[in-house]
């Protein structure tokens, strides 16, 4: 069964003028019956009046004041004196007879018990069937087949009224036919009399129920279904006939006094045990449908609504006759019936003519449809439309693909950034863990150490912490007493290295107040110690506390634009340090004695060292030395090279020299960030220890300084550079700085290594540099600047000139001397960092006889001596790194100290040092 085609519809419309497949509201009729005998006997008052053909009015003066509506309008209302014939003719006939034209229809009778439902429905059924037969007789050109079925729904059980078998019937869902009742008797009517017989059977069946159970008739639903199929006689037997098929349902519902509860709330809903489920669901379905066909409609909640689903918002024309009892005593039920009717009149159905086509007719129909579509495709206008549509779609697809590509790119970038951040965090955590572990180890070490104070040969007092467990090999002791290095000095190195250096590198940002407190503590302790031993603390302070710090650099440059940006970088750096601090804490200090026994002097030293590192790393400015430092004799270097005295500037290692140009080197206000880590070379001959090793912090500060100076220089030359750039770019059109960097890196690295050697640059500096600065393009700025500085320095030295840096004059001779001192210090550290076995293996590897003297010194002198062999360079760097306690986590160090930076994406045309520097900010 399916919707009829246009031609068939026209045929039907000609016949009936209806069934065009559009939405149609349910027809709602209200029939008021007259007072019955009992009611008259009770002197019931009639409160309802049909004031016209569509409106019924409640006339009770008391109720009028209750605020409830008094007038109700419907499609048609019938007074008590109206006959059923009138109700049929003027109300339901049109809908009921739709069935002959292939349109499903349903007529409901709804109302409270004894309101006249059965009375009305019996009449309507009879008149309809009579009219159907009349129609059949008048349309002999068509062959009709009538089938009749009847059922009753009681207590949600479906019963066949044409069968004596009381077995409940099942409701099934058929994919083609929709909802069907299994095994329901369907009689093909022979004639009108036959139908009358069947109706009698139904009545009898219901009658049985009525007698066996009180009120059954008012609590059961009866559905009489008449199905009509019709075909044009001329096509019958030819295989191409079209059949119209539809059913009309006559539904006599249960008494609505139960149904009213479905429309009520509160107290009445509690009477659930008496509520007829099918009526309740009918009310709910009608209410939902009255608000439009939105959302789920619970047809399947009851047998009635499931069976009559097409009549409730589906493919059917529907009429509801609401019957009313006029008596005042039933006013509440009457109102509920009118409420239901009001909802029902808002419900729409969509009836269509149902046609059953023979296979042949179906093929013919399909062929016609194919022909129509082919002709559409062939017509030039439509194909042109298709082409245009396709082009439009193509453009849309392209646009979408582009958007997807963009989004993908953005996502990839984000992922890359996140990965970088993750890696950085990973390294930071590893580094922190390492430092925390070192810190713990250091604290244990302090607890185990014994405190010794000895006066050195030069009369300087130092605090010695020697580990009782330390086993020193006499063969490895540097015997040159003139160097002032003694085995008993080991403790200093251990102490400062484990506590001051490693912790100092991480334990960075001290608050200003804490620094002040430390400074006071230092002064106080100094004063006390001066009383005990006037010179005792002096060298120590000199060796530990820096005069200028990396922070001084940022302060100094903060006036300039580039300095301001550089300051931001420093700020970033400090933020990181704070985070590190929070992770490293609690750290034993004088205010919170740790579990180990640490003397005041040890604590003092610890704090002094901490302060120095903190000061160095945080970039705090002008951490003034205790006044004793003022009396420190000027270094030989300072006196001989510069001719003037620079209090508190002490150099022990070959200087790490930075500076963009002559002016930069000679700037008196340029404070070397690493100077603070160099100690007096004359006064401290005997106090050498690895605490004197330039820290990674100082190295980093130096790198930043040189990069910053380069940036400043670039800024000054910017105008000039812009002019040259076009020419350079044109010349280097095929040059990609990023892609070509690895090659350039190799060349630069070679040159730098040679220059280090030529300029006697500190081995520690070389090691830091080689381990931190790799062939990553982001490091290119440091490589370039280092190369420029060294080139300048070698040129200066070769001309016999001296370079002035940080107020100090540097010459080839002085740098040589400093390098020699550094080698001595490193040789002394060798027995600390390497076991005897390890040292022996190294001597063997480096071709040093085990019987020879000063083997450590011999080895250290070999380090960094070959500028061509990269294997030699790598091994040298590894050994120096181990000696100075520098971990190989180059990347972690770079990230931690803010050395790593990603240059902005640059094209060949825009590449410049300024861009590289800008990315530092
Ligand atoms: N319009 C009417 N004119 C005269 N008598 C009527 C009318 N309507 C109903 N009656 C009479 O009222 C009585 C009850 O009618 P009917 O049985 O049709 O009510 P009902 O609503 O079907 O009740 P139930 O729900 O209990 O089956 C019947 O005796 C019937 O003849």
CATH of residue 45:
3.40.850.10
Q: In this structure, which residue's CA is closest to atom 19 in ligand 1?
A: 114
What's the pLDDT at 258?
Answer: 56
What's the pLDDT at 22?
Answer: 73
143 or 489: which leads in pLDDT = 143
What's the pLDDT at 719?
Answer: 44
What's the pLDDT at 506?
Answer: 31
Q: What is the mean pLDDT of residues 101-105?
A: 90
What's the pLDDT at 445?
Answer: 53
Same-domain pairing of 196 and 311: yes
The atom of ligand 1 lying closest to the CA of 255 is: 25
Does some domain include residue 362? Answer: no
What's the pLDDT at 707?
Answer: 66
Does some domain include residue 132? Answer: yes
- 116 annotated as ligand-binding: yes
Mean pLDDT lowest among 638-652, 725-739, 764-778, 860-874: 638-652
Structural domains counted in the chain: 2
Confidence of residue 516 (pLDDT cuts 50, 70, 90): very low
- 111 annotated as ligand-binding: yes
What's the pLDDT at 625?
Answer: 35
540 or 149: which leads in pLDDT = 149
Does some domain include residue 697? Answer: yes
Reference 326, options 82, 45, 607, 598; nearest CA is: 45
- Contact present, 530 and 541 (Cβ < 8 Å): no
Q: In this structure, which residue's CA is closest to atom 16 in ligand 1?
A: 116
pLDDT reading at 99 higher than 70: yes
The atom of ligand 1 lying closest to the CA of 33 is: 1
290 or 591: which leads in pLDDT = 290
Same-domain pairing of 427 and 320: no
Confidence of residue 441 (pLDDT cuts 50, 70, 90): low
**pLDDT tens column, 153-194:** 988 889 999 998 888 999 998 887 788 999 999 999 998 899
Confidence of residue 587 (pLDDT cuts 50, 70, 90): very low
Give the mutation target among 110, 119, 327 for probing the ligand 1 site: most ligand atoms within 8 A of CB. Answer: 119
CA of 309 to the centre of ligand 1 (A): 27
Bond prior to 523 in cis (omega within 30° of 0): no
Does some domain include residue 275? Answer: yes
Q: In this structure, which residue's CA is closest to atom 11 in ligand 1?
A: 116
- Contact present, 508 and 577 (Cβ < 8 Å): yes
The atom of ligand 1 lying closest to the CA of 122 is: 18
- 334 annotated as ligand-binding: no
Q: What is the mean pLDDT of residues 475-492?
A: 36
Residues 6+ apart with CB under 8 A from 446: 465, 495, 499, 588, 596, 598, 602, 606
- 323 annotated as ligand-binding: no
- 113 annotated as ligand-binding: yes
Q: What is the mean pLDDT of residues 346-373?
A: 77
What's the pLDDT at 541?
Answer: 31
Confidence of residue 560 (pLDDT cuts 50, 70, 90): very low
Give the mutation target among 39, 88, 118 for probing the ligand 1 site: most ligand atoms within 8 A of CB. Answer: 118
826 or 775: which leads in pLDDT = 826
Q: In this structure, which residue's CA is closest to atom 20 in ligand 1?
A: 114
447 or 478: which leads in pLDDT = 447
Same-domain pairing of 352 and 461: no
Q: Please identify which residue in the block is written with the tokens 């011999």.
A: 858
- 563 annotated as ligand-binding: no
Highest mean pLDDT among 209-223, 365-379, 570-584: 365-379
452 or 410: which leads in pLDDT = 410
Same-domain pairing of 159 and 273: yes
Q: How far is CA 815 from the centre of its chain?
A: 57
Domain membership of residue 647 as a residue range: 414-918
- 115 annotated as ligand-binding: yes
Burial (CB count within 10 angstroms: exposed 0-12, middle 13-18, buried 19+), residue 432 = middle
CA of 120 to the centre of ligand 1 (A): 8
CA of 115 to the centre of ligand 1 (A): 5
Q: In this structure, which residue's CA is closest to atom 6 in ligand 1?
A: 116
* Last residue within a domain, chosen from 342, 357, 372: 357
What's the pLDDT at 385?
Answer: 67
pLDDT reading at 573 higher than 90: no
Q: In this structure, which residue's CA is closest to atom 3 in ligand 1?
A: 33
Which of 35-45 are b and which e, b meaning 16 or more Cβ less than 10 Å from the residue's Cβ? beeebeeeebe
User: How much is the pTM?
Assistant: 0.44
Burial (CB count within 10 angstroms: exposed 0-12, middle 13-18, buried 19+), residue 291 = exposed
854 or 697: which leads in pLDDT = 854
What's the pLDDT at 638?
Answer: 33
CA of 436 to the centre of ligand 1 (A): 97
Does some domain include residue 19? Answer: no
Q: In this structure, what are the phi and psi dihedrals at residue 248, rounded to the nearest 5 degrees?
A: -120, 130
Same-domain pairing of 292 and 428: no
Same-domain pairing of 626 and 768: yes
Copy the structure tokens of residue 645: 């005295």
CA of 219 to the centre of ligand 1 (A): 15
628 or 26: which leads in pLDDT = 26
Does some domain include residue 510? Answer: yes
- Helices 855-862 and 812-833: crossing angle in degrees, nearest 10, is 120
Q: In this structure, which residue's CA is closest to atom 2 in ligand 1?
A: 33
CA of 601 to the centre of ligand 1 (A): 116
CA of 194 to the centre of ligand 1 (A): 26
Pocket around ligand 1 at a 6 A CB cut-off: 33-34, 36, 111, 113-119, 217-218, 255, 323
CA of 326 to the centre of ligand 1 (A): 12
Q: In this structure, what are the phi and psi dihedrals at residue 279, rounded to the nearest 5 degrees?
A: -70, -40
CA of 117 to the centre of ligand 1 (A): 6
Does some domain include residue 462? Answer: yes
3-state secondary structure of 379: coil
Strand residue runs (E) in 552-702: none
Q: In this structure, which residue's CA is closest to atom 31 in ligand 1?
A: 119
Does some domain include residue 378? Answer: no
Q: In this structure, which residue's CA is closest to atom 27 in ligand 1?
A: 218
36 or 719: which leads in pLDDT = 36
Q: H-helix or E-strand containing 866?
A: none
Q: Please identify which residue in the block is written with the tokens 């869902």.
A: 173
What's the pLDDT at 621?
Answer: 31
543 or 226: which leads in pLDDT = 226
Same-domain pairing of 351 and 418: no
The atom of ligand 1 lying closest to the CA of 80 is: 1
CA of 809 to the centre of ligand 1 (A): 127
Mean pLDDT lowest among 158-162, 353-357, 376-380: 376-380
Q: In this structure, what are the phi and psi dihedrals at residue 787, rounded to the nearest 5 degrees?
A: -65, -45
Q: In this structure, which residue's CA is closest to atom 18 in ligand 1?
A: 116
pLDDT reading at 762 higher than 80: yes
Same-domain pairing of 347 and 435: no
**Rounded CA separation 649/690 (Å):** 18
**Rounded CA separation 890/749 (Å):** 17
Same-domain pairing of 840 and 734: yes
- Contact present, 222 and 149 (Cβ < 8 Å): no
**Rounded CA separation 466/487 (Å):** 10
Same-domain pairing of 433 and 351: no
What's the pLDDT at 254?
Answer: 87
Same-domain pairing of 311 and 420: no
* Last residue within a domain, chosen from 357, 372, 405: 357
* Last residue within a domain, chosen from 357, 372, 392: 357
Give the mutation target among 110, 114, 260 for probing the ligand 1 site: most ligand atoms within 8 A of CB. Answer: 114
CA of 207 to the centre of ligand 1 (A): 15
**pLDDT tens column, 26-66:** 999 999 999 988 889 988 888 899 999 999 998 876 655 56
Mean pLDDT lowest among 468-472, 570-574, 668-672, 859-863: 668-672
Confidence of residue 439 (pLDDT cuts 50, 70, 90): low
Q: In this structure, which residue's CA is closest to atom 10 in ligand 1?
A: 116
596 or 806: which leads in pLDDT = 806
Q: In this structure, which residue's CA is closest to atom 14 in ligand 1?
A: 114
pLDDT averaged over the chain?
68
What's the pLDDT at 382?
Answer: 56
Confidence of residue 711 (pLDDT cuts 50, 70, 90): low
CA of 119 to the centre of ligand 1 (A): 5
Q: How far is CA 517 from the centre of its chain?
A: 46
Same-domain pairing of 420 and 348: no
Q: What is the mean pLDDT of residues 345-357?
A: 82
What's the pLDDT at 54?
Answer: 93
Residue % of the chain over a pLDDT of 90: 21
- Contact present, 349 and 318 (Cβ < 8 Å): yes
CA of 124 to the centre of ligand 1 (A): 14
């Amino acid at each position: 069964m399916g919707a009829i085609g246009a031609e068939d519809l026209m045929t039907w419309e000609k016949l009936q003028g209806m069934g065009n497949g559009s939405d149609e509201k349910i027809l709602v009729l209200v029939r008021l019956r007259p007072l019955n005998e009992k009611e008259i006997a009770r002197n019931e008052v009639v409160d309802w009046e049909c004031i016209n053909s569509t409106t019924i009015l409640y006339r009770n003066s008391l109720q009028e004041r209750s605020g409830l509506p008094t007038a109700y309008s419907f499609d048609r209302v019938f007074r008590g004196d109206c006959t059923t014939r009138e109700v049929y003719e003027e109300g339901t006939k049109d809908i009921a007879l739709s069935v002959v034209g292939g349109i499903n229809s349903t007529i409901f009778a709804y109302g409270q018990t004894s309101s006249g439902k059965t009375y009305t429905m019996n009449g309507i059924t009879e008149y309809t069937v009579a009219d159907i037969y009349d129609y059949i007789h008048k349309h002999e050109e068509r062959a009709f087949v009538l089938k009749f079925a009847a059922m009753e729904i009681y207590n949600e059980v479906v019963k066949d009224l044409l069968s004596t078998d009381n077995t409940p019937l099942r409701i099934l869902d058929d994919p083609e036919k929709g909802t069907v009742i299994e095994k329901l008797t369907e009689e093909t009517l022979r004639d009108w009399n036959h139908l009358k017989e069947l109706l009698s059977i139904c009545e009898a069946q219901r009658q049985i129920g009525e007698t066996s159970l009180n009120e059954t008739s008012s609590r059961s639903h009866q559905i009489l279904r008449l199905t009509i199929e019709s075909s044009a006689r001329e096509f019958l037997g030819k295989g191409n006939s079209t059949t119209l098929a539809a059913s009309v349902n006559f539904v006599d519902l249960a008494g609505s006094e139960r149904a009213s509860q479905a429309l009520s709330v509160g107290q009445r809903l509690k009477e659930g045990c008496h509520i007829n489920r099918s009526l309740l669901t009918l009310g709910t379905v009608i209410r939902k449908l009255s608000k439009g066909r939105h959302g789920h409609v619970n047809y399947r909640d009851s047998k009635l609504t499931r069976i009559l689903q097409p009549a409730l918002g589906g493919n059917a024309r529907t009429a509801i006759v609401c019957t009313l009892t006029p008596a005042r005593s039933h006013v509440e039920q009457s109102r509920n019936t009118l409420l239901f009717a009001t909802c029902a009149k808002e419900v729409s159905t969509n009836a269509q003519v149902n046609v059953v086509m023979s296979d042949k007719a179906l093929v013919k129909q399909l062929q016609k449809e194919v022909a129509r579509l082919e002709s559409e495709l062939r017509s030039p206008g439509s194909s042109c439309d298709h082409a245009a549509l396709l082009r439009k779609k193509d453009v849309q697809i392209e646009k979408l693909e582009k958007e997807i590509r963009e989004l993908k790119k953005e996502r990839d970038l984000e992922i890359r950034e996140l990965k970088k951040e993750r890696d950085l965090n990973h390294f930071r955590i590893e580094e922190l863990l390492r430092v925390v572990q070192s810190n713990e180890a250091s604290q244990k070490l302090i607890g185990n150490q014994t405190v010794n104070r000895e006066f050195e040969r030069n009369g300087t007092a130092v605090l010695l912490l020697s580990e009782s467990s330390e086993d020193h090999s006499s063969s490895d002791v540097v015997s040159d007493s003139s160097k002032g290095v003694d085995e008993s000095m080991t403790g200093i190195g251990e102490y400062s290295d484990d506590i001051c250096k490693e912790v100092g590198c991480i334990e960075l940002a001290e608050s200003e107040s804490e620094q002040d407190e430390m400074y006071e503590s230092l002064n106080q302790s100094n004063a006390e110690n001066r009383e005990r031993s006037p010179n005792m603390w002096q060298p120590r302070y000199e060796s530990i506390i820096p005069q200028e710090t990396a922070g001084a650099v940022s302060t100094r440059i903060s006036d300039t634009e580039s300095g301001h940006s550089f300051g931001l970088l420093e700020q970033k750096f400090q933020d990181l340090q704070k985070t590190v601090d929070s992770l490293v804490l609690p750290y034993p200090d004088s205010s919170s004695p740790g579990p180990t026994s640490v003397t005041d002097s040890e604590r003092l030293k610890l704090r002094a060292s901490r302060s120095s590192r903190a000061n160095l790393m945080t970039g705090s400015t002008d951490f003034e030395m205790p006044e004793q430092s003022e009396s420190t004799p000027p270094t030989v270097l300072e006196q001989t090279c510069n001719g003037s005295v620079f209090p508190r500037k002490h150099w022990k290692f070959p200087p790490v020299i930075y500076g963009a140009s002559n002016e930069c080197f000679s700037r008196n206000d340029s404070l070397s960030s690493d100077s603070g880590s160099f100690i007096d070379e004359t006064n401290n001959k005997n106090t050498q220890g690895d605490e004197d090793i330039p820290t990674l912090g100082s190295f980093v500060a130096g790198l930043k300084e040189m990069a910053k100076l380069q940036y400043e220089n670039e800024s000054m030359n910017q105008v000039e550079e812009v002019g040259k750039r076009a020419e350079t770019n044109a010349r280097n059109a095929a040059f990609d700085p990023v892609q070509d960097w690895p090659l350039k890196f190799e060349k630069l690295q070679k040159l730098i290594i040679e220059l280090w050697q030529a300029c006697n640059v500190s081995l520690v500096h070389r090691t830091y540099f080689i381990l931190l600065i790799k062939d990553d393009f982001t490091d290119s700025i440091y490589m370039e600047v280092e190369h420029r500085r060294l080139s300048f320095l070698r040129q200066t030295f070769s001309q016999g000139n001296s370079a002035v840096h940080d107020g100090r004059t540097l010459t080839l001779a002085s740098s040589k001397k400093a390098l020699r001192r550094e080698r001595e210090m490193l040789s002394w550290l060798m027995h600390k960092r390497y076991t005897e076995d390890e040292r022996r293996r190294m001597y063997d590897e480096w071709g040093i006889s085990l019987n020879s003297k000063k083997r450590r010194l011999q080895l250290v002198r070999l380090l960094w001596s070959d500028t061509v062999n990269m294997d030699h360079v790598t091994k040298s760097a590894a050994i120096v790194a181990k000696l100075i306690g520098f971990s190989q986590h180059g990347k972690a160090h770079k990230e931690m100290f803010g050395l790593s930076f990603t240059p902005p994406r640059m094209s060949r045309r825009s590449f410049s040092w300024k861009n590289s520097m800008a990315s530092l900010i």
